[in-house]
Every structure is written in C-alpha cells, then in structure tokens.
Structure 1
Amino acid sequence: MAFTVTDYVLARLSEQHVDTLFGVPAAYCASLFDEAGAHGIRTVVTASDLEAGYAVDGYARMKGLGVVAVAYGVGTLSMINAIAGAFVERSPVVVVNGGPSVPHLNNLKNFDVLFSHSTGRPDTDLSAYKLVTANAARAEKVSEVPAVVDNAITIAIRRKRPVYIEINKDLWGLTCPRPAGSLSRANPAAGTEKQLAATIVGLLRAATSPLIVVGTEIQRYGLADKAAALIAKLGVRWSTALIAKSTLVEQGNGWVGVYNPPHSAPTAANAVANADLILMLGCVFPGGYTTLVTNGTNRIISVYDGKVKIKSGAKQNAEIGALVTELVTEAAKAPPEPVPPGVVPPTPAPATGPLTYRQVFERVGAVLDDSWIVIPDTSLGVFSAANLPMKKRDMFVCGGVWASIGYSVAAAVGVSFGSSRRPLVISGDGGFHMTAQALATMARYGRNPVVIVIDNGIYAYEQFILDKAYFSNPGAQPKPYVVLSDWDYVKFANGLGVQFARSVDTAAAFDSALAAAKASNAPALIVTSADAHGLPAELP
C-alpha cells in the first residue's frame, strides 16, 4: 500500500506522541480524519472551529504538542483567535490545513473564479497565520512536503509556539517518501549560559531581598525540577505568574503566592514590591505587569524567548534549559540562605448561607485534591482562582495573558484527552456563552469535566473595567451592553447530552452538587447564582 502525503504528516505527529486530532472535517483536509486511526491517532470532532482551537491548545499544554485541522477559510479564520492565544502563551499547536490546488489558484489569477471559501486572494489563510504562529508555510508539490512538515513540527517543539502547515488539497493521496530519521527536539545552547549563570547567581546572592518569579516557559520546557532545585539551593523567596500556577508545588520555605497584578494576594504583592532583585524566569508579561517592568528596570533580570536581560543591560542570547542547568550548578557552590516558611492557604469558612463569589472559590478550594486540574476562565473570578490551594504540580491551566473569554470550557475538552486529571472549569456566564456547545463534545466522547458557571447575568469583568462603582451601589444599573441573555442552563446542558446539570444558590447546595458531580464520573454542569453587584474578595 502506498505511503502518501497524508501518511507523512500523521506519521511525523505520531512520532512526537500526538494521539488526538481535533477539528471540524472538510473536503480540504478530510483524508487526515480518514487515515488518522491507522497511525494510532483518534479524531475528536468539535462543535465549532473555535472550540477546536481552544481544545488543541489545552491538549498541547498537557502533552507538549497538539494537532488541529478545520476547513480552509471559514474554519481557519474562525479558529485564529484561539491560535493567537496559543502563540502568546507558548502552546505548541500544529495547524494542518488543506489549501487550494494549482488549478484553483490559476483560475483565480486568470479568470477571477473563487475556489471554495476563498476571499479572492491566493494566500489568505497563509498570510493570516503568519501573524499568529512561529512558522507558516505552504507545500504545493509532493517534493516540498517533507521539508515543510519537518521544519514546522521542529519549530513548534523547540519554540513552544503554534505553527501552520498548508498543503495543496490535491496532494494528500499522492505517494510520498517515508520520514527519514527523527526530528531534533533540543534547542542548541548559545554558549553564553555558564557566564550568565555566574553573573545572575552572584547578583542574587548579593541582594538583600531577592525573589524569583517562575513563568510559563519553565513548565513548557520541562524545567520544573531544575527550577525547584535552583530555589532550594539559593534559599530565596519565590512566586509564579498566573499562567505558571502549580508549575511547582505551592508550599515550602519561601513561597509567597501567585503574582497576578493588579490584584495579587498581599503576600505576593508585598514580596515583589520589597524585592531589591527579581529574577523573572520564563515569564510572559501581560498588561498587569506594566508598572513593575517599566519602572523596575534596575532590579529585574528577565529570562524568556531565548534571551536574557540583566537590569538595564542589552539582551543576550541564552537557551533557557542550558541556562537553568548552569544556574543550579552555580547555586550549589554555596549554602542556601534561610527564608521564611511559605504562605499557608486560609481554612475555608463553613458552607452556610447564600452563595457569594468568595464562597464559590472557598468551597472549590476545600475539595481540591490532585485528581483535579482547575481551568478558570477570564472573568472577575480569575483573581480568586490564582489563590486556590494546589497540592501538586500541573493542576492549573488558564488563558491568563491572551485573556479571551470562553477559553476554559473548550480547553477542558483538550485537557481531558491530554491529562489523567479531571478538568474542573470555573467560568463566568459571559465566557460560558462563547463556547457552551463544547458540552456536546464532552458528552459525545464520554469526557468528564465538571463545569461551574458563575451566573450573575452580566459581563462583570467588562463592567468592572468600565465603571467599578456599580459594584458598591446595590441600586446601580449595569451598562446596557454588558447585560447577558437569560439562559436556562440546566435545560441547555440536558439538550446537549449532559445529564448532570444543577443550579444552586446556597453554599451547602453547592457542596452537595460538587460531591455528586465528582462521584458521577460524567460531564457535569453546576450553575451557581451570584449577586450581579458581588465581587471576589481579591477585588476592591
């Protein structure tokens, strides 16, 4: 039996332990779905293209690489928001697209005849994805396929960013050479790492109150053990960025909590404010970091994107894995400094009375164990989620930098395929409206996320940004354009095949629903009624 272009793409992905193809099939890429099973790759057809993008992002964060395919034009452009988020947050996703054939392109050029889903331009998808991927390339001939595919997958693995592969739709069934050799996964060292490590460790030891902030690249590059060893050998206080939460076990000496400005826990905010030297290790800087980064140049060392910037010095090349290794070696040359015990999460209050924002997160925190992986959505509650107690590593996923509402519910689909832990989604009602149909995917494929929706009837985050005085005045009316449609969430979930769906409005009922959902081992929806004027405890 001939080995085809389709086989080549799937074989290379299977070599990298990718076992799931997400997407919405179309004629442009149908052969990928036809042949995936022959390569040990299951197919997951999502309820929308956007859901497919979020789902593959969640899967890639768990497994180290993911793949998605949707329809040319109508699918890829719908999905581009999710891939932009993957780009910003270092999620290695491979987008495989069937592109127009040579006759299609010739007819467009010579006669202005549009091929299916064409905008009238020959490279709409390719051009668009160049803006949100680390590599975007098209193969128009079989001879170009191996190089295009190998280069893209290698870049995704090495740079932890999405890539885009477009293959002429007429090529899928043509004979193609088999893959030659294995792909190189490692980034080469820059040669600067040892000297930089000596300089950085020297500065940290000379500082009076140093602090390390662990960022998402530590998780993406598998450097958690080394980062933990560095912290222990130096004896320094440490924090994490929001999207790096639970990259390390959040306990032990020096732990100050998640730094998530502008509404960080006081222990983390004070530690950052009072530090005379901060090592930002693999951090991506969202807008909340603006004041710190722009005003703190002379007390910050940044390591990210293959660069090191020491205070106001110029950026220097350095491979993060090699650098962290050298940092640990250098830190071991002297005994650690004593640091105070880590912060301990407060004991939750009893489950009494009507539900509030505070109680939702307290009750969730009370039941968290290492069987769960928490996925909060972009909402007012994300600041509370930052302070949830995590007992193990890798128990938290969020879109905390790109901050697109709706991420959590759809990402939970991918996380459920990529992790042995059970997704626990905490979403605002506005975010849930964006990707709620992902419940159908969960039911169809027998996945078991538990989705908690905080129902206050408005886009509360938007209202808070525009006019936070609304929340301190029970008689105030929200902006008319932040008011949501009133859904019957229980009937909606039942209609999509999710049989466990409850609406609760007291803390005791919420506890009961959580316990029952966990015992059910099926997809579940719990809707918690909330006061539209209520705020999480972390917000003023």
Structure 2
Amino acid sequence: MLVRRDKLLTKPVAVSEYLFRRLYEIGIRSVHGLPGDFNLVALDYLPKVGLRWVGSVNELNAAYAADGYARINGISALVTTFGVGELSALNGIAGAFSEHVPVVHIVGAPSTTSQRNGLLLHHTLGNGDFNVFADMSSQISCDMARLDKPADIADQIDRVLRTCWVRSRPVYIMLPSDMAEREIEGARLDTPLDLSEPANEPEREKYVVDVVLKYLHAAKSPVILVDACAIRHRVLNEVHDLIEKTQIPVFVTPMGKGAVNEDHPAYGGVYAGLGSEPAVAAQVESADLVLTIGALKSDFNTGGFSYRTSQLEAIDLHSTHCTVRYSEYPGVSMRGILRQLTERVNLSPPARLRSPEIASSGEGEIITQAFFWPRISDYLKQDDIVVTETGTANFGIWETKFPRGVTGVTQILWGSIGWSVGAAQGAALAAKDMGLDRRTILFVGDGSFQLTAQEVTTMIRHNLKITIFLIYNEGFTIERFIHGMDAEYNDITRWQYTEVPAVFGGPKVRKFVVKTRSELENLLVDNEFNNAGGLQFVELWMPKKDAPRALKITAEIAAKNNAKMID
C-alpha cells in the first residue's frame, strides 16, 4: 500500500501507530472489538506497539467487556467497523456513558474518497450519508474526532483521549481506511499526555470549603454517603483520608458498593432508602448532615427514590460542581474540596459505629436468596473482583460483606440484561494485564446469562481466572416481581448450563451443580475451588419465586411508578 509522506515531518509515524501508542501510554494493554474490512489495516499495528487483540464474539459483548476492563484498569478501548459493527456496540457504549465509564470507541470507516463521493458501499444506509452513525454516537460520547485531516489528527487524538480520562465517559474516534497508514508527525509522542484534571480556582474552592466546614462543624450526627462517581472519578484515596481523619460514620449506595473498606470501624453498610437494613436507614435518615460524594441518585440506586433525607441537611460533592443545601457551586470539583476538608476539618471523634451483623437466615436444605448472599461474605477474599448482574445478584450483594480491597462491579443505572458476562471477562483481563493475582467472581441469573453466554469462549481463549455462579431460578426474576409473576414472557428455555464451557472450547473447565445448602457449604470451603487458576462454572439452584428483600421492595415501587397515570 502506498503511504503518503509529508517531507516536513521530523518523526513520521502512521496514524494507527500514533493512536495505539497513545492507548498504550495511558495504560491500556488489551483492545476489545471485532475485525471488519474498514478496520483491518489499522489492526495490524496493535502488536507493533505491544497491544493485545482480545477478539470478542460480537460487538455488544465486546462493548460490555470494554466497560468491565475500564472499571478495573481505569480506561479501555474498543474497535469496531463502520455501521453494522458500531451500532451493535452502541448499547454497551450507552451503558458506559450513563455510568461514567471511560471507553475509547474507535470505528474503522470507509475511505475519505468514498465518503466524499457518496459511494453506495456495504454497511451504509445507501443514501450517501457517512455521518449518520457518528451522529448517533454523539449523544453518548463526551467528545468525538473524525480523523480525516492529517494536519489535525495528532491533536484530535490527544484531545479526545484526555477528555475521555478527565470526564470519565466514552469518546468516539472515526478512522477512515485510507488514513490508517497515512503518516503524521510523531515527535509529539515524546511528550506524555497530560491527564491531570483542571484544578479548582483557589478562591472559589476555599469559599466552598468554608461553607461546608461551617455546617460540618455544627453537625451533631453527620454521616458520609459514598456513591458511584467517587469511584469513577478516582477520588477514593481522598475519601478514605477524610474518613480516617474524621471517623464520621460512612455508608455506601448500591452503586458505591466496594468503594469503602468494609472492615473500617466507621463503615455502616449500604443505604438505599426503603431497601436498606432498618438500622442503616435509621442512622442515615436521622443524621443532621449527609455528606454525599459522587451521587448518582437513580431509581434502583435509591430504593425507588425512597430516600428520607432532607436537602436542608445535604451536601453533595460532584466532579463538576458542589451543592450545599440549596446553593450550587458550578465548576468546583470534589477532589480539591475533599483534600481541603481533610486538611482543615476539626471534629471530636464520634462514637464508634458498629456495622450491622449480616447473618444467614432460614433453615433446611433449600438455597434461598436470604441465606446465600450473607454466606458469600465468608467465601470472598481480599482483593477479589465481584461482578453482579442486573437482577437478584445486584440486590442480593447488598447483604454481602466485602473483605478489604474487594472491587464491586455492577451496572445498576443502565441495567442492561446480560452485561455482566462480558464485563466479567473485561474485568478479569484487566487484572491480568495489570499483573494482579485477583479472582473475578461473577454472579449472574440464568435469564441474563442466555443473552451473552458466548463470551465464555473469550474467557477460555485468554485463560482468565473467573468463577461463574449461575443462579438457576427459571427465568427473569426481577421482571417477575415488577410485573407478571407467572407470565410466559418471563420464562426461559432450560439449558444444560454446565455444558456451555465445553461447547465453547473449554472441556477442562471445572463445573458443579449445586442444589442444596450442604453441597454449597462443601464447595465454598474446598481449597481447590477457592484457589483455582482458570474458569470454574457453578450452576446454583434457587427457588423460582424467591428474591432478595431489597429487590422485592424496589420492584414494588418500580411497578407503582410504571403504573402512574398522567393527571
């Protein structure tokens, strides 16, 4: 292939190499996606810069996996082809956008000549509009770049990658096929990307801190509530410093599960309005000040909008602004505020908070939701990665106590059924790329698993350390509790689930069928099971019409909201 060279370039480098070297620089080691004729030439450059091609089974699963990878690694990349490929990935990218997950979506597109001439190409709508799919993605991307002008390409790549990191949301890069090997100036690669977030204006920051301290020092029973964006916008070090300095009782939301060391004496549990344990709800709702960090107050994250706290006693810190009672301070981000608060706060240590004891309930041999999730607390190890699917697992995990360093991976806001299977693959691969010996444990329902089961083959292909607990309860349980308990549309076909790994190329995968509590207990204490180095598959039987307490409450509220009439 002929590559056009500009004689003025001091360090010529192909566009694809420039882009992928930047991805490597910011910490990405594996790239998810699928090949297509418009991205093939670009993919040849991945191994040249040390990047691994993952190769998922479809674009939707690849997007889910990129989401999971970013939640562990900090950022990820996804490559699809124009039209058919990128649209298949769109649901996964939308989920990453809604939940503040930084994914770099690179789309191999037809050549600039083909686009300029409006050719009737495959993978198009046949109307000569080559921007229609990018326009769709613009609604779920925080920045975009069409790499069609060589003089601007390096600047565009650097800009969108920085934006992706700082804003912690997906970006979209269109790479036309004739630009993949076009040479541009590579000298700027000698200068690392600046990924630092903009600092707050000092006087504004000081003023907001003064206001926050005024209410914090006056409070008699303050609490801290840590939510998802504290994780996504990387302020957990600042959060823990504040907790350590003040010893204020700290709680997490469902989306914030895993953000706080649950062994800390100040940790109190999961707060989600009516979905909370009564003792947790009582302490949070009786507080005279609630300092929320990184809130995403969605329906399922708040127990169906059932918070019983007052804005008059609320301080909300965000990545782009802060709110103190009814006053909003735009352009003041939480990192600087948290650091100043920790430095300047002066509180008498509060009474030590006793975390609520989580005990397994019920007797007999049936594995109920109420029994299972507290029991899993003792199975988990320090630094595990715990992935939970939308449904019973997302709600049940509230009742599980995490050891120190456990990372919770959930998708409560977007809630795309089947997301967790791809996300588990991505999360496990990220841990492997980072050189970390961490178990990835996936809890997924049988209905959800059927949507994305093919991603098991990618887990096998990359020899990932994943244990899958498939909850066999005969269908879509969360939907049953919202509407249609016995409706046919909430039923699924029974699979031979433990045979799935063999079908997808893993005949040596360890597999188990667990129907009783005794069988579960024996498995959870088995040393080989606890220390397995590859994929394990557990089919776990639970009653069809059983669900975690929090799910039942939230589903009832959701059903009422769905039925509300317009006045």
How far off its partner does 1:325 sit? 0.9
Give how far 1:79 is off.
Answer: 1.0
Equivalenced residue count is 526
Deviations, residues 186-221 of structure 1 (Å, cap 9, x unaligned): 122231222211211221221232211112232233
How far apart are residue 487 of structure 1 and its match? 1.0
Does 1:423 find its partner at 2:440? yes
Q: 2:108, 2:206 → 1: CA distance?
A: 45
Are 2:358 and 2:374, in contact at CA under 8 Å, matched by a contact in 1? Answer: no
Contact 1:250-1:391 within 8 A present in 2 as well: yes
Residue equivalent to 1:452: 469
Q: 1:99 aligns with which of 84, 95, 109?
A: 109
Match of 2:7 in 1: none
Residue 328, structure 1, aligned to residue 342, structure 2: yes
Give the aligned residue type for 1:5: V
- Describe the shift of the 1:136–1:394 C-alpha distance in structure 2 as closer, same or farther (beyond 3 A): farther
- The alignment status of 1:24 with 2:34, answered yes or no, reads yes
1:3 paired residue number = 13
Which of 223, 243, 250 does residue 238 from structure 1 map onto? 250
Matched, 1:62 2:69: no
Alignment CA distance shift 1:50-1:455 (3 Å): same
The TM-score, its normalising length taken from structure 1, stands at 0.92
- 1:36 is matched with which residue? 46
Change (3 A) 1:296 1:335: closer
1:473 aligns to what? none
189, 192, 206: which one aligns with 1:194: 206
Counterpart residue type for residue 174 of structure 2:
E
Secondary structure of the residue aligned to 1:25 is coil
**Are the counterparts in 2 of residues 260 and 383 from structure 1 also a CA contact under 8 Å?**
no
Calculate the aligned-residue CA RMSD, in Å: 2.2
* Deviation (angstroms), 1:118: 4.1
Q: 1:264 touches 1:383 (CA, 8 Å); kept in 2? A: no
Return the match for 2:388 from 365, 368, 376.
376
Cross-structure match for 2:557: none
- Alignment partners' CA distance in 1, 2:126 and 2:530: 47
TM-superposed CA distance for 1:78, in Å, is 1.1
Match 1:480 to one of 464, 488, 503: 488
Structure 2 counterparts to residues 312-391 of structure 1, below 5 A: 312-331=326-345, 334-348=346-360, 353-391=365-403
Which runs of 4 or more aligned residues in structure 1 lie more than 4 Å from their structure 2 counterparts after TM superposition? Answer: 292-295, 347-352
The offset of 1:456, in angstroms, is: 1.1
Q: 1:427, CA displacement in angstroms?
A: 0.7
Distance 1:262 1:94 in 2: 37
SS state of the match for residue 253, structure 1? Answer: coil
Does 1:174 pair with 2:182?
yes
Equivalent residues in 2 for 1:25-424, closer than 5 Å: 25-108=35-118, 113-118=120-125, 120=127, 121-178=129-186, 180=188, 181-191=191-201, 192-288=204-300, 289=302, 291=305, 296-331=310-345, 334-348=346-360, 353-419=365-431, 420=436, 421-424=438-441
* Aligned-residue offset at 1:65: 1.3
Q: 1:505 aligns with which of 515, 524, 547?
A: 515
Q: Partner amino acid for 1:422?
A: R
Paired with 2:244 and 2:483, the residues of 1 have a C-alpha distance of 43
SS in 1 for 2:230: helix
TM-score, length-scaled by structure 2: 0.88
Between stretches 424-433 and 305-314, larger displacement belongs to 305-314
Rounded Cα–Cα distance in structure 2 between residues aligned with 1:261 and 1:455: 29
Pairwise CA distance, 1:2: 5.7
Say if 1:214 and 1:240, in contact at 8 Å, map to a contact too.
Answer: yes
Letter in 2 for 1:482: N
SS for the counterpart of 2:81 is: coil
1:436 to 431, 436, 453: 453
Q: Percent identity?
A: 24
Question: Secondary structure of 2:134's partner?
Answer: helix
Deviation at 1:351, TM superposition (A): 9.1
Specify the SS of the correspondent of 1:531.
coil
Structure 1: which 5+ residue stretches go unaligned?
471-477
CA distance in 2, matches of 1:242, 1:116: 40
Any idea what the Cα deviations from partners look like across 1:263-291, whole Å, max 9, x if unmatched? Answer: 22223322222122211111212124374
Q: Which amino acid aligns with 2:377?
A: G
Quote the Cα distance in structure 1 between the aligned partners of 2:350 and 2:532: 46
Please give the alpha-carbon distance, in whole angstroms, between the structure 2 residues aligned to 1:158 and 1:500. 41
Deviation, 1:350, is: 9.8
Provide the C-alpha distance between the structure 2 equivalents of 1:446 and 1:249, rounded to a whole number of angstroms. 30
Question: Which shifted more, 118-127 or 161-170?
Answer: 118-127
Q: Secondary structure at the match of 2:275?
A: coil
CA pair 456-292 structure 1, distance change in 2 beyond 3 A: closer
Distance in 2 (CA, whole Å) between partners of 1:497 and 1:240 is 40
* Structure 2, unaligned runs of 5 or more: 1-10, 554-567
* Corresponding residue number in structure 1 for 2:5: none
The offset of 1:293, in angstroms, is 6.7
- What amino acid does structure 2 have at the position aligned with 1:431? S
The residue type paired with residue 176 of structure 2 is N
